[in-house]
Amino acid sequence: MADAAHAADPQTDAPQRRAEAVLARMTLEEKAGQLHTVDASGPDPAGRLGPEIASGRIGAVINQVDPQTLRGLQRIAVEESRLGVPLLVSRDVIHGFNTIFPLPIGQACSWNPDLVRDCARAAAGEAAASGVRWTFAPMVDIARDARWGRIAESLGEDPLLASVLGAAMVEGFQGDDLAAPGTLAACVKHFAGYGASEGGRDYDATNIPDNELRNTYLPPFKAALNAGAASIMTSFGDIDGVPATGNGYLLGDILRGEWDFDGVVISDWDSIGQLITHGLSEDMAAAAREAAEAGVDMDMMSSAFIEHLPEMVRAGAVDESRLDAMALRVLTLKAALGLFDDPYGKTHEGAAPTREAARDLARRAARESLVLLKNDAGALPLDFGAIDRLALVGPMADQPYEQMGTWVFDGDETRSVTPLKALQDALGEDRVAFAPALETTRSRDRSGFKAAVEAAGMSDAVLVCLGEEAILSGEAHCRADITLPGAQLELLDALRETGKPVVAIIMAGRPLTLAPVLERVDALIYAWHAGNMAGPALVDVVSGAFNPAAKLPVSFPRSVGQIPIHYNRKNTGRPPVAEQIMHIDDIEVGASQTSFGMSAFHLDDGYTPQFPFGFGLSYTRFDYSDLTLSADEMNRGDTLTASVTVTNAGDREGTEIVQLYIRDPAASLTRPVRELKGFQHIMLKAGERRTVRFDLTERDLAFSGRDRRVRAEAGAFDVWAGGDSTAALHARFVLRD
């Protein structure tokens, strides 16, 4: 075995010093090899990649999780290469590994960083036990367009919520020590602005003013890096004409300069090569130079660095010190992960949580992700003791694979408990009348409607599981029409005609336009793709064993024409006013030309979303009163406390997520009409009342200004508190210089 990689004493030397000792003995080709990430999937990866690994030309592999295969690849790297530098094994561990938790957008509905941290920790343990040590998560792109397939991976539309939950996910993956059992290095993606792709189309261009970039899109990345994220991934898209993978302003000025980040930056899949397609680089050599000089360390899949950087260094086109810095960051990460001491992952063999513990966590995460959006006349919860028979209908009612959702490569569908199985376990098979009605969510064949209507007719109530299959969201799966596909609305019509109460459960990877669904059902639960334990979680909520508390992390549009729609919009010079809104049906034929309402709205869909950010119902009711501030004025450096009284005015115990919003109504840059600045979970018994307090500091009032300095500006600030972003309770204070 080569000994250079093991020459330093792991007990006394920090990871960087250990990496420096290895780097000092490397050739240019070996340095560039550390920057080269390749796909190890497919048959016989050792035979295909072995010679390149042995020659030191591959530093990391992706998409291989078989422990025996990985040990074989690692053996070649450690025992056959000149310096014995181990491989870094990576995988997209997005919302679980073998056990699948709700989609990130579903987890975000919990507004619970502890839960998000626990899910990431469990996924890390399972993945590390298989040999994976690096995950390409979390995705903290702000997402305001439901057409975009990757909204499923996001944490929503709000910078604060995405920051808090993204940081928690990093902490869950990485723990306190990257070398500890069951840890993965996190990779925050996609830097930056990927969620603003034009038209909701993946990979498309983005045009983001610096004000918007710094105040909306960058904060979650900064929070994730502050939480210790070891690496960051570039976006596919361009930012104002400069693709992110070659964008020196993003990667050099901001990431390396202002933020002083010295971790690994990796390109997305072939995004260095795509600099040519974008039109930034004329050939692969130019693309390699653009990416390296911008600040990218590792090349995923394009081979640009390994093929061109050594030659460019020899020719003086790229300084060797840059190549050294790139390789040193990769080697330092490997040292921090403990790979030099334990390349075969023996430390992590028993790191996975027990199957029972993972299952219990998946059930808890799933039920905290389910959002109750409609509940007319107390249609829910259902009294299982009083029900003779329950109809379960719909194409998503018994789909163990589909309920896991997008970005699932290693999930075990045999661990999935579907709504059908969970209801049969809860009620007994003879009390559940099941009829899928449609083969898939996209099916238009109505031949199964008759059986579904018969099942409904003989039952006390109907649960109908609708939505979209997992493949309809995720990367490259964007939709222009985000209504329910296939004949699902027609199925609702048929069920409605039975006269039985109809409860819809929507299982999807994105917000859908729900207006036509809402008018056809008595209650609606938005379940997203909730993972392996979606079925038991739904039973918990539908039966009332668990009182839902989840809140939306993203606004739901009334129609696709409202997109992009988000609560933290700008006021404009002519903000919409409810009493001035004119609807298209109210305009007389032949009316003279006039600017109806003279404000920012759509004639056919107003200006409000179907459901606002932060919205979610409970089986009880929470009333808000007495919003008070500790002072009317606040000096710089002081803390001001906002207090609000919350009362459980219903007849059962429940949890409420209390939210605090502010607005800076007059600033050197226009500010959003509202910004989330705090949230707290409180459990209240029926009739219980509690005062909830939020501390506001100067930092909470700050933003990146015209000069790119982050500071709070003196003046008045509005404050609101309530159960969603439309909260009505209001107060005002003044920040003094």
Would you state the CATH architecture of domain 622-736? Sandwich (2.60)
Is 66 marked active-site? no
Distance separating alpha carbons of residues 647 and 689, to the nearest angstrom: 4
Instruction: Give the model's confidence band at 324: pLDDT under 50 very low, under 70 low, under 90 confident, else very high.
Output: very high
Sequence length of the chain is 737
Mean residue pLDDT across the chain: 96
Q: Supply φ then ψ for residue 243, to 5 degrees.
A: -55, 140
User: How far is residue 518's CA from residue 515's CA, in Å, rounded to a whole number?
Assistant: 5
Q: Could you give the CA distance from residue 713 to residue 486 in angstroms, rounded to a whole number?
A: 52
* pLDDT (tens digit per residue) in 95-107: 999 999 999 999 9
405 in Cβ contact with 382 (< 8 Å): no
* High-pLDDT (> 70) share of the chain, %: 98
User: Is pLDDT of 438 > 70?
Assistant: yes
Give me the amino acid identity at 309: L
Q: Does 238 have pLDDT greater than 90?
A: yes
Confidence of residue 597 (pLDDT cuts 50, 70, 90): low
At CA 205, angle to CA 220 and CA 156, rounded to 5? 30
pLDDT of 4 over the 60 cut = no
Residue 265 confidence (pLDDT) above 90: yes
- Identify the pLDDT of residue 634: 97
What would the pLDDT profile of 653-684 be if each residue is shown by its tens digit?
A: 999 999 999 999 999 999 999 999 999 999 99
Residues of the chain with CATH 2.60.40.10: 622-736
Region 357-543: CATH code: 3.40.50.1700
For residue 32, what are the contacts with CB-CB under 8 A and spacing of at least 6? 57, 305, 306, 309, 310, 323, 327
Give the pLDDT confidence score for residue 719 in this predicted structure: 98
Assess whether pLDDT exceeds 50 at residue 7: no
Q: CA dihedral in degrees (72, 75, 76, 79; nearest 10)?
A: -160
Catalytic residue among 118, 145, 268, 605: 268
| Model pLDDT for residues 198-226, shown as the tens digit of each residue | 999 999 999 999 999 999 999 999 999 99
SS3 731: strand
pLDDT, tens digit (0-9, with 9 covering 90-100), for 49-97: 999 999 999 999 999 999 999 999 999 999 999 999 999 999 999 999 9
Cβ proximity of 104 and 24 under 8 Å: no
- Return the pLDDT at 1: 41
Annotation: CATH topology of 62-296+336-348: TIM Barrel (3.20.20)
Q: What is the pTM of this model?
A: 0.97
pLDDT digits (tens, 9 = 90+) for 147-203: 999 999 999 999 999 999 999 999 999 999 999 999 999 999 999 999 999 999 999
Q: What was the pLDDT predicted at 587? A: 86
